[in-house]
Amino acid sequence: MKKWIGIAALSTLVSFSCAAQWQVMEQDSRVSFVSVKKGDIAEVHHFKQLNGVLKDNGQFELSIPLMSVATGIDVRDERMQNLLFEVSLYPELKLSAQVDTKMLKEFAVGESKVADIDGKISLHGKQQTKTFSVILTKVSDNKLMVSSFQPIIVNANEFDLVSGVDKLRDIAGLSSISQAVPVSFVLTLTK
């Protein structure tokens, strides 16, 4: 049950830049992940909070407070916060990426483009670089939507989360929890 990323999701969101700074609109954005327990029981979760910015130099930054994990069950949220993410030590997931500033300037209102963007995920004291396949849509001159074109897979071992997954499995009395989690996202940016 590694839900992050995507965070990666975050991640991935980062798509463009222009002459002004773009802000991620939290209420119109979501980073989601799917956990699989007992071999074939899949559940969708998300983060209730995130914030991000795409600067005019193309630098994209996204942060997700891990206390905002939302699984639909309060006790499970608390267990993920404390046993998996260890929020007292590692309160946030961060994603950073560099976006080609020319891409956005050449992007017409109403146009969509698919792009691969490399992003660095910082989670649980570890960093990994992943390629995010995204679809970008310029909704208006001051609004972009960036969505995952395909999910990104986050593995617990990449971020030293295996022992946390094991603790979750044990405390819930489950036979298994997958250590690979697909993450997807929709980010709305405005300026």
pLDDT for the residue numbered 13: 42
Task: Determine, yes or no, domain membership for 91.
Answer: yes
7 found inside a domain: no
Query: What per-residue confidence (pLDDT) applies to 29?
Result: 98
Beta strands in the chain (DSSP E): 22-24, 30-37, 41-47, 51-54, 59-65, 69-70, 92-98, 112-123, 126-140, 143-148, 152-155, 180-190
Q: 67 near 81, Cβ under 8 Å?
A: yes
The reported pLDDT for the residue numbered 1 is 53
Tokens of 163: 């022992």
Residue 117 has a CB neighbour count (10 Å cut-off) of 23
Q: Is 3 inside a domain boundary?
A: no
pLDDT tens sequence across 140-186: 999 999 999 999 999 999 999 999 999 999 999 999 999 999 999 99
> 10-residue block means of pLDDT along the chain (191 residues)?
42 43 97 96 98 94 99 98 98 95 87 95 98 96 96 98 98 96 98 93
Residues 94, 119: contact at Cβ < 8 Å? no
Please state the pTM of the whole predicted model.
Answer: 0.86
Give Cβ neighbours of residue 92 (< 8 Å, ≥ 6 apart). 63, 64, 65, 66
Count how many domains the chain has: 1
Burial 127-160 (b: 16+ CB within 10 A, else e): eeebebebbbbbeeeebbbbbbeebbebebebbe
In a domain, 33, yes or no: yes
pLDDT for position 100:
86
Residue 14 covered by a domain: no
Residue 15 lies in a domain: no
Q: What is the CATH number of the domain that holds 167?
A: 2.40.128.110
Looking at residue 113, its pLDDT comes to 93
Cα separation, 33 vs 165, in Å, equals 15
Alpha helices in the chain (DSSP H): 74-79, 101-105, 162-172
35 within some domain: yes
pLDDT at 101: 84
